[in-house]
Structure 1
């Protein structure tokens, strides 16, 4: 009983102390502060941090929809399927390869974004909207260079844009889906070419086993070592990575 009374007294004291502590604390920063100046309106730091955190949540979508990551990861996944290795390399390895190859391919674009938009913004030489517009230009140039004219024309017609004077006039709402459609086409085309030699090995092994009457033996068990040997002998990883990287600079 004494322990219970002591516990209740401590809870009551804590309830009395909480409002006092709250009143003793200084008021926090305002969530929204807009300062009128000669150059226009200036947002408070808290709002800028909030906008930055919101943009970071969109970073994975931007990586998938506006960079070379999608083409690379699809080709690597098709390669694993063609070789018949169910989980080797693992998903983590494939994503790591695709991510760092994407950084290699996009390095000139990111460098231009840093020089023309990020550094001037950090030096307070450029407003946020101006920095965003400057950063979009290198990304636009990269995406337009990888987008087929037929795909771009398709989405322009769907969006109701009859005529566009140049690539700089194409809105991002049209350019992004056109770019993704072209990337999917290119990735599956490369994957088909990669799949063919492994398919030939499977057909040869399957027909050989059938002619020998070994119908109960799975051809995948026999063809897998030959496919791995073929891929190693032709230096497949270097050839594949070099081809993928070069496909963005043609």
Structure 2
């Protein structure tokens, strides 16, 4: 009887459930957190995933070029926004595949095999993304944001992400508009020719955009426009070189 009461008191005294926070200090001074807190941090970071996909990958350049191309062809809703987003998303996966493969090999797999800690895995995963963005960022844009942030680094590779990300987005928008301008020119020439012919024929009440649309579609199909645009976007990131 007494032994049973003692066992019951001991069971009540023991904490039940998972510990919310466990901090382990390593011999080198770094700290490791419990799995429960890591899962919480991971779930919280998922809310930033859309912004990461849009701002830290090739998505921005691709979607802007696609939108300019649709406007240049005179098509208001074809292809639809959903199709353009799908094209940009899967093209981004294609362009970013070498980076994702490095992250998987150097960070994710060693972490799953418990060869590195979570903090080390994050640092290793950061390096391929950092190198990709740095390779696509213009030095002028990088210097602009370095001056705004009053940041000084010895090497370009040491630029922090808080400076690199806005510089990268600025460079991507500039590159996308340059590609869009080159795509816009042939369609603009067709519009000018059609407008001149209609004016010479006295058919000023007929919309030039309506008449030029079939010719622009025919030209785009004959020159394999989609293949050229996709190939140009892929090679603009250094793929195939």
TM-score, length basis structure 1: 0.85
State the match for 2:96 in structure 1: 106
Point out the structure with max Rg over C-alpha.
Answer: 1
2:157 aligned to which of 168, 192, 197: 168
1:85/1:31 CA distance change after superposition, 3 Å: farther
1:31/1:210 CA distance change after superposition, 3 Å: farther
State the match for 1:181 in structure 2: 170
Structure 2: runs of 5 or more not aligned = 1-14
User: Does the CA-based 8 Å contact 1:31-1:47 persist in structure 2?
Assistant: no
Q: Per the alignment, in what secondary structure is the counterpart of residue 36 of structure 1?
A: strand
TM-score, length basis structure 2: 0.88
- 1:203 and 2:187 aligned: no
* Cα drift, residue 44 of structure 1: 3.2
Would you say how many aligned residue pairs link Structure 1 and Structure 2? 223
1:153/1:238 CA distance change after superposition, 3 Å: same
Correspondence list, 1:8-87, <5 A: 29-30=17-18, 32-36=20-24, 41-87=31-77
State the match for 2:217 in structure 1: 228
* Cα drift, residue 41 of structure 1: 4.8
- 1:146 and 2:136 aligned: yes
CA distance in 1, matches of 2:137, 2:65: 18
Q: Deviations over 1:220-240 (max 9, x none)?
A: 110000000000000000000
CA distance in 2, matches of 1:198, 1:31: 64
* Cα drift, residue 49 of structure 1: 1.7
Structure 1: runs of 5 or more not aligned = 1-26
User: Does the CA-based 8 Å contact 2:26-2:32 persist in structure 1?
Assistant: no
* Cα drift, residue 37 of structure 1: 6.1
User: Does the CA-based 8 Å contact 2:142-2:163 persist in structure 1?
Assistant: yes
State the match for 1:23 in structure 2: none
CA distance in 1, matches of 2:16, 2:186: 66
